[in-house]
Amino acid sequence: MSTAAGAFGTIPSAYPGALISNILAGTPLLASTAPFSSDHPSSGMLNGILANARHSMLEMLDKTLALVSVSKGWMSEMPNVPTTEREVAQCAAFQKQALISCRMALENSRLANNAFMNSNMCARDEINRFESEIAMLKNRVLSVETQYDQEINQARSPQFAMFQNLGLGLLTDGTKIDELKALRDSEIVKLRNEIVKRTQDLQTINQSMTNLGLWVELCERAGGYLGSIYNILTAIGYSNDTDAVAFKELMGIQWDQIHKEAEEVKSFLQSR
């Protein structure tokens, strides 16, 4: 969003192009209604939290667009500070609508941010869990190898080690040893497959953490932007106490740019 400078300072951009580009270029966390596949251990919990965040984001964007619509109508009909009783009443009506939309957009930005932060905490817990499980599985591989190696050695005749040291061959119970080796290899393959699966899950969570951070930043920026607009709306005053500086500040906001960027984010959330 463009900025509007004045008595209330510079309003920061809520949806800067670079931030939006990073969100779209990264792991598309909200590119679907169920970003975590059903085979992910915590897919139900994570998808549920993100669904709430997605809903609140869309509500925030809808209310932001409603705010834009009211404000553009306000500017079109009243480009100057009201002076007559009729204009003051008309200004108050526009102000009331704008405040309602802005307040609701602010509330939904807060709800979305809370949901993303909750997702972030859950993701961190998942990372710790996967790292712990991977470490345990690797230790299990070593344990299985040691256990079966001992059993294989025990399956050999007592004289095996002596003859082996002398470089001589000695018949052993080959069938028993082959069975033990097959069991060992089978169990290790299963464990290593589990390690691969957990590692993939860990990578997915790590990637989602990066994308979550971007959405949190977007919510915080939007909340700050909407808060600044809300302050301007309330500073305009009521009845015959219209603040000319605050009114000019509101009129200077680039509403078309806000509309364009809010629609861009909304389109991303709706098209998947």
Residue 6, token pair as written in the block: 């004045």
Q: What's 58's DSSP letter?
A: H
At residue 39, the pLDDT reads 66
Q: What's 12's DSSP letter?
A: P
Q: What are phi and psi of 149, to 5 degrees?
A: -60, -40
| CB neighbour list of residue 106: distance below 8 Å, 6 or more residues apart | 223, 226, 227, 230
Q: Is the sign of the CA dihedral 146, 152, 157, 162 positive or negative?
A: negative
Residues of the chain where predicted confidence (pLDDT) is lower than 50: 1-13, 27, 168-171
At residue 3, the pLDDT reads 40
The rounded distance, in Å, linking the Cα atoms of 104 and 100 is 6
Q: Is the sign of the CA dihedral 210, 212, 215, 216 positive or negative?
A: negative
At residue 192, the pLDDT reads 95
Q: Tell if the pTM clears 0.75, that is, is over it.
A: no
Q: Which CATH number fits domain 17-270: 2.40.50, 1.10.287, 1.20.1170, 1.10.3470?
A: 1.20.1170
At residue 15, the pLDDT reads 52
At residue 1, the pLDDT reads 40
Other CB atoms within a 10 A radius of the CB of residue 226 amount to 26
At residue 5, the pLDDT reads 36
Residue 170, token pair as written in the block: 């000695």
At residue 7, the pLDDT reads 33
Residues in the chain: 272
At residue 9, the pLDDT reads 36
Other CB atoms within a 10 A radius of the CB of residue 10 amount to 10
